[in-house]
Structure 1
Amino acid sequence: MTFSSTSIENKNTFTIKQLEIKLAHYPLFTLFPVIDISPISNGLSNEVYSVSCALNPHEIASTINAIKAQFPEEQAQHIAVYLDEHTSYAKNEPINFIVKQLIKPISPLSFHLQRLAASNHIAPPILYANKEDSIQVMTQIKGEHLTQNLSDEHLAALREAVVTLHKLGQGTFKKPANKQTSTSLLQPEKFDVCSSIINDLNKINELDETLIFGISKQDLCEINAIVNQVHGRLNIIKEDNTFIHCDLNPYNILFSQNNTDPHKKINVTFLDWDYACFTDVCWDLACIMYEFKITGAKREQFISHYCQQAKLNQKDIKEKVELYEVLYIVACILWVVLSEVNAHNPNKQSDIHARYNLDVIMKELRKIKL
């Protein structure tokens, strides 16, 4: 796996009409006929759509029976719960699903890790997956994407969710019924963040300069030197590897009010598990620190409480988060550059361009003193 692995080739995507035809042949959408498909996002590794479907309120009982007959127990339960929640507040309205089309085949690791996360209420359940078309269908989770200036309550909820996420592979949380899920994750291959970034830098450096968006070969040499310096420092600090999300930007995190549990006021749901992997926990923490601009006392508190809950060395984690944050800034630069190099439609830019300003990120990188 590399950060560019999902964007180095042309996208094999459908038009909305083609997607509608495909979905009509899936078992789920024979029960819920498609009314409308609306694009939500266009990223490097996937395209996401909201799919509105017809729901006859007089046939809910028979629909649930058909679901139980056609789907595996775990998926049937998720669909039935989602249907029940929907009809409790919108009985006569269409029901919406999220359909995600991946550019590459569905990763078994990300698929199983999302299932583990869903069973612990920090990810949307996967209701249906078609490996041939690289399509996943999920419930539509209600909530909001927050960016900066998170309240103390939101920070605490986010921290709790990250601790839960990082314990998924440790056998301390509930696993889905399928026993193969846990055994397939026992001996994962470690994702080396530094090596991946260096590999992507080399790929970009080999391109004709006219194809590179907003960055010079001199900039690339400067970035490469910084990454090598960070790599050297990380090599002498103990690793804390586990299963991580690997892409915890604000658009992949939903916050919502919890009205059922008096001890938990805010729910946190992690979306888009395409990059999920086995590596150091500090990559996820660095993503959060940078994306939400968590600094000063709030940063200290977040890391301190995280380390207490995760039982990790606070001094090591703090130092590694600072180093991984540098790598994350570099990764953001790579994503912007690669989204332009690999654009499958010259008139359609990836959402990455709306999120990151290349000049601003380069200035941030140059200000860092290692």
Structure 2
Amino acid sequence: MAIPHGERCLVKMDKKLLSHYTLFDNQTILSCNLLAHQGYCNENHIITTDKNKYLLRKLLRDDIDRQNEYKIHHLAYNEGITAAPLLYDEVNEIMIFAFLEGKHKETLDAHELKGLAEVLKKLHNIEYGGSPIPLEIQNHTETITKALTTIEKYPKEYVLCHNDLNPKNIFFSHDIKFIDWEYAGVNDRYFDLACICVEFSLDEEMQEIFLKAYFSKRYSKEKLESYKIIYKTLCEEWFKT
């Protein structure tokens, strides 16, 4: 979910403010620049010092539980699947993380899909207490009603999910990392699986490779297809708001 730089007024970060953080003790802040592309929920800056690079996020939306987001980010970092969380300034609405080197990919080969499945399993195995996120769909068409009815036939497989695994939220380098945890929370594991299948436009063959790498047991194609419909509908409604 990215919008081009320049479509809105972006906050200019003050080096003087940043220098007050103990994180930058014994470092000289050389620059703090906006990234070329910005998300909907934060303004992203790259901080360069004489020793390191950092990602600074100026938090924009007030309808997101940022404390919970930061907690989940820590849990994910402990599993080695995201950048190190370094600072959360609730008063100034700032989070700072280690800067990740890597690139986003729109299409994946079989090896990358298998690696992605392994990282997703690590996320879904994190112990996390919380209530499931409701599927808030506004327009209940016949198709979406059928999909919702179908998933009710299957046992709930609630785990900690990212819930927004589009290509811009996944970094590929020597390993795979997830970023942007605003919408993370408890959901059925099939939601994240459906998200990846949809976002990377996996055909039947590549979808099978991905799911076989994720599951050590049989899985339900019917449940997956229903969650794909649900995910697409939620995205369509989200972008209309």
Aligned to 2:235: 332
Output the aligned Cα RMSD. Answer: 2.1
Higher helix share: 1
- Deviation string, structure 1 residues 50-87 (Cα, Å, up to 9, x no partner): 111234xxxxxxxxxxxxxxxxxxxxxxxxxxxxxxxx
Q: Is the 8 A contact 1:242 1:280 kept in 2?
A: yes
Please state how far the C-alpha of 1:331 moved relative to its aligned partner. Answer: 2.4
- Deviation string, structure 1 residues 285-341 (Cα, Å, up to 9, x no partner): 111101111111221222133121xx5x512xx222211111221222223222xxx
Percent identical pairs in the alignment equals 25
Q: Is the 8 A contact 1:158 1:268 kept in 2?
A: yes
Q: Secondary structure at the match of 2:83?
A: coil
Please state how far the C-alpha of 1:14 moved relative to its aligned partner. Answer: 6.6
**Bigger Rg, structure 1 or 2:** 1
Tell me: CA distance 1:236–1:26, structure 2 relative to 1, closer, same or farther (3 Å): same
Aligned to 1:52: 48
Aligned to 1:65: none
Aligned to 1:197: 137
Q: Is the 8 A contact 1:106 1:134 kept in 2?
A: no
Answering whether residue 219 of structure 2 is matched by residue 314 of structure 1, we say yes
Answering whether residue 137 of structure 2 is matched by residue 243 of structure 1, we say no
Select which of 194, 197, 202 maps to 1:294. Answer: 202
Tell me: CA distance 1:38–1:49, structure 2 relative to 1, closer, same or farther (3 Å): same
TM-score, structure 1 normalization = 0.58
Aligned to 1:179: none
Aligned to 2:213: 305
Please state how far the C-alpha of 1:225 moved relative to its aligned partner. Answer: 4.4
Number of residue pairs matched by the alignment: 230
Structure-1 separation of matches of 2:173 and 2:112:
10
Alignment of 1:140-289 (within 5 A): 140-148=99-107, 150-169=108-127, 185-186=128-129, 188-193=130-135, 196-198=136-138, 224-257=141-174, 267-289=175-197
- Deviation string, structure 1 residues 247-286 (Cα, Å, up to 9, x no partner): 11111101112xxxxxxxxx11001111110010111111
Answering whether residue 12 of structure 2 is matched by residue 109 of structure 1, we say no
Alignment of 1:16-55 (within 5 A): 16-17=12-13, 19-40=14-35, 41-55=37-51
Amino acid at match of 2:49: C
Please state how far the C-alpha of 1:229 moved relative to its aligned partner. Answer: 3.0
Select which of 58, 83, 97 maps to 2:54. Answer: 97
**Is there any run of 5+ residues in structure 1 with no aligned partner, and where?**
1-12, 56-94, 170-184, 199-220, 258-266, 339-370
- Deviation string, structure 1 residues 198-241 (Cα, Å, up to 9, x no partner): 3xxxxxxxxxxxxxxxxxxxxxx5x6444333222222221110
Structure-2 separation of matches of 1:124 and 1:167:
18
Q: Secondary structure at the match of 1:16?
A: coil
**Is there any run of 5+ residues in structure 2 with no aligned partner, and where?**
1-8
Structure-2 separation of matches of 1:106 and 1:52:
28
Structure-2 separation of matches of 1:331 and 1:98:
29
